[in-house]
Structure 1
C-alpha cells in the first residue's frame, strides 16, 4: 500500500513564473528545474548510488526517460493531485531498475512548489512476469517453443497464401534406454543436443517446438515436400557427424505436406507422425552388457 509503505522518495524544486491564483494552480510547461532537494536512504539504495551527495549532484531533466514524465497532461492538469506509471530505467550508477512511481505536486505560495515522487522497485515482479510469459510458450529444458505455441501457429498459418505447408515430426531414438542406463541428467543432455541439431538444420523462418517428452515438431510455411525431405536428410547427416561418442544420437523423422486448401492440416500432422513411426521402427537399438547403445 502506497499510503503506509513508501519505499523511496525523491523531492525536487519547481518554480512558477506567475503568481499562483488558486490552490489548484500547477507548474507551467518548461518550468521544472529538476534539481533534487532531498532523497531518502531507500532511494539511494534503489539507484545503486554511493551516497546522498552523489544523487543530489545530477539534474533529473538530463535523464530523458524521467523528463518524459513532464508531459503536457501532467503540467496542465488542474484536477489531478497524483500521476502514476511504470518506468524502466538504467541509473547513473549502471543499475537497471523497473519503477512503479506516483507523483504528487505539493503547492506552496511562498517559493513555488515541490514535486514528490514515491517509487517502488518492481524489477523482480517484472522479471517473474517476463519468465511466466516466456515459459507459457517455451520448453524449459531446450528453450524451444512448446506444444501450445506450435498448435497456435498451425492455426494461424493454415492459410492459402502459406501453401505449401510442410510438417516434420522428429523423435529422439532410445531416450528411455539412455535414461535407464546413464540417468535422466544424461538423457536431458542428449535431448538438448538433439534440439540443437534440429535447430541448426532449419531455416530462420521455420518453427521448431518440443512436442512431447522425446518428440519434436517443425512447421515449415511455403515449403514443398522436396524441400522438407532435404531438411530431413540434413538432420540425419548432422546426427552421423557427432556419433563418435559413447551415446550416438539417432532421430527418427517423418514429413508431410499440405498442398491444397481443402486438405485438413490435422491429417497432414498425423501423416508426418505415421512416417516418423515407420522410420523409428527401421532403427534397431540394442544395449550391450557394458551398457553402451548402438544403432544399426
Structure 2
C-alpha cells in the first residue's frame, strides 16, 4: 500500500468513525428512480429506539408515518426539490412512545442533469431549545401568581379579534370585593391566597371558547368566544354561584362582574372592554348602596 492510498484509507476510516459516533442523525437517501435509504447512522436509535435503523432501511415509508402531521407539507417540499435548501428545516417527529422529538435539519440535494436524484443531510436534536421556547412562551402568556393567562396574552387576543378574526364575542370583567380589607386585616399573603383561589374557581370554566386572564391585582378579564348572549349570562351566573360557594373560614369571597356582548368582534373589542368595565363598577358600587 503506497503512502497516498494509506493516507486515504486512514482519513476515510476516521471520517467513518466520526459519522458513526455522531449524536446527530446523518443520512443519505435516493430520490429516484425510487425512494431508498442508502445510509443512516446509529444516532437514529438514540431518539427512535432499537431497531429504527433497520426499519428505516427496510420500510422508509412506514418510518415516515412518525413525522408529525403539521410538518408533512414542508418535508414533502424538501423531497420534491421545491425548497430553499440554504435554510434549516425545523421539524417534529414522534418516537416509539409517542413523545415529540424536535430536530433542525440541514439538507443538501444531489442533482444529475438538472434532476433531483438524491439527498443527504444532518438532523440535530433541539428538544431542549424547543422546551426553553415553550417555557418562555408560557411565562409570557401566563400569570406567575395564579397560572391564569397574563395581561400580555389578553392584550394579544384583544388585538387579534379586533384586527383579524371576526366572531361573536363577549368580555367579562371580574373584580374581587373588599380585597384591601383582607390585606389590612390578614396581610398581603392572605390577599394573594384569595386571588389564587378566585383564579382557580374561574379557571374551572375555562375552555377553548372561555379564556381567563388576570389583568391586574385582583381583576380578571374573560374572553368568551362564539357564544350567544344567553349563554354568556348563564356563564356569569354559574361563576358567581361558584364564587359564593367558596368555603373560607376567615373571609367570604365576593366578586363583582360586568360583561358586554357583540355579534362582531372586529373593530369592537375596545368598546366591549369599556362597556364591561362600566358594568362591573356599576355592579360593585351598586352593592354599596
Does 2:91 match 1:87? yes
Q: Which residue of 1 aligns with 2:194?
A: 190
Q: Which residue of 2 aligns with 1:10?
A: 26
Q: Which residue of 1 aligns with 2:63?
A: 63
The normalised TM-score by structure 1 is 0.60
Q: CA deviation at 1:283?
A: 6.2
The within-5 A match list for 1:133-152 is: 133-152=137-156
Change (3 A) 1:125 1:272: same
Which of 237, 240, 253 aligns to 1:236? It is 240
Q: Contact (CA 8 Å) 2:141, 2:150: kept in 1 or not? A: yes
CA RMSD for the aligned pairs? 4.7
Q: Contact (CA 8 Å) 2:259, 2:276: kept in 1 or not? A: yes
Q: CA deviation at 1:93?
A: 6.8
Deviation larger for 134-143 or 122-131: 134-143
Bigger Cα Rg = 1
Whole-angstrom distance in 2 between the partners of 1:11 and 1:157 = 45
Q: CA deviation at 1:97?
A: 1.8
Give the secondary structure class of the aligned counterpart of 2:221.
Answer: strand
Deviation string 1:123-157 (CA, Å, 9 cap, x unpaired) is 12122223434444443443433334434544555
Does 2:273 match 1:269? yes
Does 2:132 match 1:128? yes
Does 2:212 match 1:205? no
Whole-angstrom distance in 2 between the partners of 1:59 and 1:264 = 54
Change (3 A) 1:45 1:204: closer
Does 2:258 match 1:254? yes
Q: CA deviation at 1:85?
A: 1.9
Q: Contact (CA 8 Å) 2:243, 2:253: kept in 1 or not? A: yes
Whole-angstrom distance in 1 between the partners of 2:122 and 2:214 = 45
The normalised TM-score by structure 2 is 0.61
Change (3 A) 1:283 1:65: same
Which ranges in structure 1 are unaligned for 5 or more consecutive residues? 1-5, 15-26, 108-112, 285-296
Q: CA deviation at 1:252?
A: 1.9
Which of 152, 166, 169 aligns to 2:173? It is 169
Deviation larger for 187-196 or 226-235: 226-235
Q: CA deviation at 1:122?
A: 1.0
Q: Which residue of 2 aligns with 1:294?
A: none
Give the secondary structure class of the aligned counterpart of 1:59.
Answer: helix
Whole-angstrom distance in 1 between the partners of 2:99 and 2:206 = 38
Q: Contact (CA 8 Å) 1:89, 1:97: kept in 2 or not? A: yes
Change (3 A) 1:31 1:273: closer
Give the secondary structure class of the aligned counterpart of 1:88.
Answer: strand
Q: Contact (CA 8 Å) 2:260, 2:272: kept in 1 or not? A: yes
Q: Contact (CA 8 Å) 1:202, 1:231: kept in 2 or not? A: no
Q: CA deviation at 1:200?
A: 4.0
Give the secondary structure class of the aligned counterpart of 2:93.
Answer: strand
